[in-house]
């Protein structure tokens, strides 16, 4: 099974980090994974996105053009990628950052005020992880066999050991999204 995911939003929202977290968890679970960032001038204050592929088999193109799962954290990203989602796919939107709802009738739509939830819980800037937590819950098997604990384990590897408070906060943000 191949699952293709796009994370998208503004530079600075932790879009690339959210993708990396998922990729790391996949790797630890013995999956084939790839992570590809958008790179270039658009990253400086503009939009950022990354492609993540999780597969049981070798991955061909790491560039995702039609995702199974789309996570957006701003309106421009919503506009840009909404039509690209595969029929039967899932869209996750941070409703604190975009008021849009999907016009597609053939996809599943989830909205969660991720950035706002993060702010209210002293986790400012961690809307990305709240969104990821919600994605883990709602996707279930469609994401592979991801578990909350696998992602928590991944954080331990990505978050620098010199910043233990960040590890704690990321895990809290993840749980917040998962419980929503």
Decide whether 52 or 112 has the Cβ nearer to another protein: 52
Query: Residue from 45, 46, 61, 164 that binds another protein (CB under 8 A)?
Result: 61
Q: How far apart are CA 47 and CA 77, in angstroms?
A: 7
Minimal distance, residue 67 CB to another protein, in Å = 13
Q: How far apart are CA 20 and CA 108, in angstroms?
A: 24
The pair of three-digit structure tokens given for residue 106, joined into one six-digit string: 């053939």
Minimal distance, residue 9 CB to another protein, in Å = 18
Decide whether 27 or 148 has the Cβ nearer to another protein: 27
Is 112 a residue that touches another protein (CB under 8 A)?
no
Q: Which of 98, 2, 102, 92 is nearest to 55 (CA)?
A: 2
Restricting to residues 6-45, name those near another protein by CB under 8 A: 20, 23-24, 27, 32-37, 39-40
Minimal distance, residue 37 CB to another protein, in Å = 6
Task: Output the DSSP codes for 65-112.
Answer: SS-SEEEESSHHHHHHHGGGSPTT-EEEEETTT-------SSSEEEEE
Decide whether 57 or 105 has the Cβ nearer to another protein: 57
């Amino acid at each position: 099974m191949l699952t293709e995911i796009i994370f998208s939003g503004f530079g600075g929202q932790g879009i690339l980090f959210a993708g990396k977290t998922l990729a790391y968890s996949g790797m630890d679970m013995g999956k084939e994974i790839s992570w590809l960032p958008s790179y270039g001038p658009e990253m400086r204050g503009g939009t950022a996105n990354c492609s993540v592929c999780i597969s049981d088999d070798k991955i061909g193109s790491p560039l995702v053009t039609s995702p199974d799962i789309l996570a957006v954290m701003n309106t421009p990203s919503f506009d840009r990628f909404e039509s690209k989602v595969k029929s039967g796919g899932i869209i996750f939107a941070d409703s604190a950052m975009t008021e849009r709802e999907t016009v597609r009738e053939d996809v599943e739509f989830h909205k969660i005020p991720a950035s706002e939830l993060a702010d209210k819980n002293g986790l400012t800037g961690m809307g990305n992880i709240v969104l990821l937590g919600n994605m883990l819950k709602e996707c279930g098997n469609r994401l592979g066999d991801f578990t909350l604990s696998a992602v928590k384990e991944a954080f331990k590897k990505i978050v620098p050991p010199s910043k233990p408070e960040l590890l704690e906060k990321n895990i809290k943000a993840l749980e917040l999204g998962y419980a929503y």
